[in-house]
Amino acid sequence: MIHAPSLTFGKTALAMAVAVVLTACGGGGGGDDAASDPTAPVTPAPTPTPTPTPEPTPVGFTQSAQWNVALPASGASVCYDFNAKAEVPDCSGTAWDLKIKSAGMTATFWTNSGTSGSGQGGAFGGPLTQTWTQLKTWANATTDPTAGPLPATVYAKDSASGVFTGSNSIASAAFEYGVGGSTDHRLYPNYRTFLITTDSASASTAGTVTAPVFALQVTGYYGGAGGTTSGYPSFRWVDRSAPAVVRSASVNASGADWVYFDLAAGAVSSATGTWHIAFNRYNFKLNGGESGSGTVAGFLAKTPAGFYDAQGKPVAAQFTNAANLAATQADLGASDLAVPARAANWVKDATTSPLQPNPAYTGTYPNPLNYGWFTYHPTVAASTAAGLPAVAHLIKANSESASLLRGGEGNTYARFHLSNIAYANPSVATSQQTWTIDFDVQPQP
């Protein structure tokens, strides 16, 4: 606490103040002014005005916004700036914060970051992680009520999705975050073995000299001076045609740009050169699908025993076991690796956002299908059971699904949820939809 200066003068302070007044009036010398008369009243020194303590800048969700957006035509997008409370139809620049990409009768959400925009946005807490009710208890978007301050890196960017994309809070299939508890902010590798083919048109996992297939494990995330700097993924791999030769490497992927790597040459490459895998902090992509012009794709071949419990939760004692590196190396050439049954099973890179649930939906037809932000009702019976009109193919907002969003400028935040989906004609599933999205906004401090 900052205390204002005291307004009470002691005897010494008062004497000094009087002396100052006398000096200023010519006191102490001769003359006939009041200062020379010991009986004349002495004017006390002016009381100093204390400097006011500035009010702290509010930090937290101090504003609100609501976006009522008419779903655009299939394939089209529209964006929203929650600070200006206005649409940005062309989704240009860094000021917009949330993008809706229409699929006709449904839509997906995207952030102004990574593969989706030029801003510094991102999202934390997918729609299946925290509910709207839970997020309403947060005081601000940068402090977890139980874990404390959040590192900026937990706000993940839109990125390429593929075999290295997972369903955890950091959307990684190769790392887990904070397995040691609320005060643990480190990433831990799970030593999974991934197969990486250079010919996704073939189901073969044996590989050839001209079309090699690699088995790869991610083994760490920290490096640099002292080995403690984040953004230095390490990995090891074998060429399936020569599985006894294990190679390893670490790259500095801590910057904004992707680092491209040629597994055949065992060296860093470039986006225009020969490359198979690329790294940006804990995000990985392969040279194929939507990430590159090559024919590289992946397949999850093995998860070592003991790292996850029956519910799929990380087992902290196993993740922190110092013997993991040596104990899992044999998996690279193991005979029990899962392999794709056909070429179509290779996982090619696509684009994704931390705002998209993984898996894309749960449920089985003809029952309702939950897509995270909304639920699709394929039959009349499913619609009426959900309180909707007796019409098949209607969707309904899951108003408890929510997320934390970092704005495109990188210094503003919001929590938001899809509160309603309204049809222009509720009896026609193909009629115009209007989505209502509510934001609690944390402005720039």
The whole-number average pLDDT for the span 334-358 is 93
Residue 429 amino acid letter: A
Return d(Cα 53, Cα 2) in angstroms, integer: 7
> CA-CA distance, 119 to 83, in Å (whole number)?
14
Mean pLDDT score of the chain? 87
Q: Which of 317, 350, 383 is the last residue of a domain?
A: 350
Contacts 24+ apart (CB under 8 A), 269-278: 276/196, 276/198, 276/214, 277/196, 277/216
Q: How far is Cα 196 from Cα 286, in angstroms, rounded to an integer?
A: 9
Mark which of 350, 382, 414 sits at the end of a domain. Answer: 350
Greater pLDDT, 149 or 266: 266
Q: Are residues 112 and 209 in the same domain?
A: no
* Domain coverage including residue 17: 1-54
For residue 62, what pLDDT is reported? 96
Cα 166 from Cα 300, distance rounded (Å): 11
pLDDT exceeds cutoff 60 at 31: no
Segment among 56-60, 125-129, 257-261, 343-347 with least mean pLDDT: 56-60
**DSSP of 348-407:** --EEE-TTS-SSS-B--TTS-EE-SSEEEE-SHHHHHHTT--S-TTEEEE-TTBEEEEE-
Mean pLDDT within 319-347: 97
Judge if 318 and 180 occupy the same domain. yes
The number of domains in the chain is: 3
Task: Yes or no: say if 244 and 333 are a contact pair by the CB < 8 Å rule.
Answer: yes
Tell me the β-bridge partners of 236.
217, 248
Where residue 150 falls among pLDDT bands split at 50, 70, 90? confident
Per-residue pLDDT, 46: 58
> Residue 21 pLDDT more than 60?
no
Number of neighbouring beta carbons within 10 Å of residue 227: 11
Residue 255 pLDDT? 87
Phi-psi region of 121 (alpha: psi -120 to 50; beta: other; left: phi over 0): beta
Co-location of 27 and 135 in the same domain? no
* pLDDT, mean of residues 138-146: 91
Whole-angstrom distance, CA of residue 354 vs CA of residue 126: 6
Q: Are residues 246 and 236 in the same domain?
A: yes
Checking if the pLDDT of 111 tops 50, the result is yes
Cβ-defined contacts of 207-213 (< 8 Å, 24+): 207/239, 207/240, 207/241, 208/241, 209/241, 212/239, 212/240, 212/241, 212/263, 212/264, 213/239, 213/240, 213/241
- For position 160, what pLDDT does the model report? 77
Does 142 share its domain with 225?
no
Using an 8 Å Cβ cutoff, are 258 and 287 in contact?
no
Shared-domain flag, residues 207 and 321 = yes
Q: Are residues 314 and 391 in the same domain?
A: no
Confirm if 268 and 261 have CB atoms less than 8 A apart. yes
Q: What pLDDT does 44 receive? A: 53
Domain boundary among 328, 350, 372: 350
What pLDDT is stored for residue 14 in this prediction? 33
Task: Check: CB of residue 355 under 8 Å from CB of residue 403.
Answer: yes
* pLDDT class of 445 with cuts at 50, 70, 90: confident
Q: Rounded to the nearest 5 degrees, what angle is found at the Cα of 388, between the Cα atoms of 384 and 391?
A: 70
The pLDDT score that the predictor gives to residue 394 is: 98
Give the model confidence (pLDDT) of 394-419 as tens digits: 999 999 999 999 999 999 999 999 99
- In tens, the pLDDT along 365-385 reads 999 999 999 999 999 999 999
**Paired sense of beta strands 148-149 and 283-286, if any:** unpaired
Provide the pLDDT for residue 129: 83
User: Do 66 and 188 reside in the same domain of the chain?
Assistant: no
What is the rounded (10 degree) CA torsion for 26, 27, 30, 31?
70
CA distance 57 to 445: 6
For the chain, what percentages of helix, strand and coil (3-state, to nearest 5) are there? 10, 35, 55
Please check the confidence at residue 314 and state whether its pLDDT lies above 90.
yes
Structure tokens at 228: 């403690």
Based on the fold, state whether residues 274 and 391 are members of the same structural domain: no
Q: Which pLDDT band holds residue 182 (cuts at 50, 70, 90)? A: confident
**What is the pLDDT averaged over residues 311-338?**
96
Euclidean distance between CA atoms 147 and 149, whole angstroms? 7
Residue 149 and residue 68 share a domain: yes
Q: Are residues 99 and 46 in the same domain?
A: no
Supply φ then ψ for residue 306, to 5 degrees: 95, -10
State pTM to two decimals.
Answer: 0.58
- Residue 50 banded pLDDT, cuts 50, 70, 90: low
% of the chain exceeding 70 in pLDDT? 86
Least confident span in 30-39, 235-244, 266-275, 329-338: 30-39
Same domain, 199 and 338: yes
Over residues 206-245, the pLDDT tens digits come to: 999 999 999 999 999 999 988 999 999 999 999 999 999 9
